Amino acid sequence: MRALDIGVYAPAGAAVETAPVARAVERLTALGHRVVVDEGVLRRHQRFAGTDDERLAAIVRTAARPDVDVAIALRGGYGTTRLLDRLDYAALARSGKRWLGHSDFTAFQMAALARAGMVSYHGPSFAWDFGAPQASDFTLAHCFGLLDAREYEVRCALDGPTRESADGVLWGGNLSMVASLVGTPYLPSIDGGILFLEDVGEHPYRVERMLHQLAYAGILERQRAVLLGHFTDYALVAHDDGYDLDAAVARIREAVTTPIFTGLPFGHVRDKLTLPVGGRVALDVRDGEARLRFHDY
């Protein structure tokens, strides 16, 4: 694994505590990487890591730094949506940085792909993943493995149609963020792609509702396949009466002809893949075993 020049900046939520930031710097440095911490990482304004102007400036500073190759978002939360109409996407693409994060960071990724065709990376966040008390070896290996290679292959179990092969643009991220951008110029218009989705704290009926939104907008039918990751941190109640996430997914499978698979290892979970948003993936599924070959990223 080659050493990377890593920069951390805060485009959205404020740091909940400082210890994970220090742990992440120590861990990445111990792995041989060089880490640059933006001056605004520990700022706080309401729930945000600074005012909108300050967080926008953090993105601009990070893009301009010659000593940063991989730019990692501190965390998600909320806040990137506020900045979408103020970002210079052509300049971000020209910067040559590899932008990495997940959750709220999906808004940045979708907009950058839609407005500039820019590839980014849906994967670990700086504080939650790299700064965890015990970082996931799975997450670290797949993140740096993909970033260090021109092509990268993953094998995992997926539940869905027995046989399926497809090759297309890989895109998506957090379902709430993707659904919120429908009808805006910040959602990519991708035909024949492979869409991946996850979420946290959303009851299955809300997951189903957002998937219906994507279906009614024609987005799901235009894809070669849909890959669902983890949907975590929700609570079923007696009123659900047997309605759960499996039931929600079954309903969407009835509504569209696009193959839908579940079980992709990513989301608000400890063990997550890093996925190149705007790159391509060759998907081959045989009897529940899937091979994903990421290329052109």
Alpha-carbon span 258 to 278, nearest angstrom: 20
Task: Kindly state the helix (H) or strand (E) to which residue 164 belongs, with its residue range.
Answer: strand 163-174
95: alpha, beta or left? (left if phi > 0; alpha if psi -120 to 50):
alpha
With the C-alpha atoms ordered 53, 54, 55, 61, is the resulting torsion angle positive or negative? positive
Q: Which amino acid is at 208?
A: E
For residue 103, indicate whether it is catalytic.
yes
Of 142, 176, 198, 208, which is the active-site residue?
198
For residue 295, indicate whether it is catalytic.
no
Q: Which of 292, 297, 263 is nearest to 280 (CA)?
A: 297
SS3 205: helix
Alpha-carbon span 213 to 12, nearest angstrom: 25
Non-local CB neighbours of 182 within 8 Å, separated by 6+ positions: 213, 214, 217, 219
Alpha-carbon span 229 to 241, nearest angstrom: 24
Of 142, 203, 230, 268, which is the active-site residue?
268
Distance, first Cα to last Cα, the chain: 18
8 Å CB contact between 210 and 176: yes
For residue 268, indicate whether it is catalytic.
yes
Of 33, 95, 103, 125, which is the active-site residue?
103
Helix 204-216, helix 245-255: angle, nearest 10: 10
Residues designated catalytic: 103, 198, 268
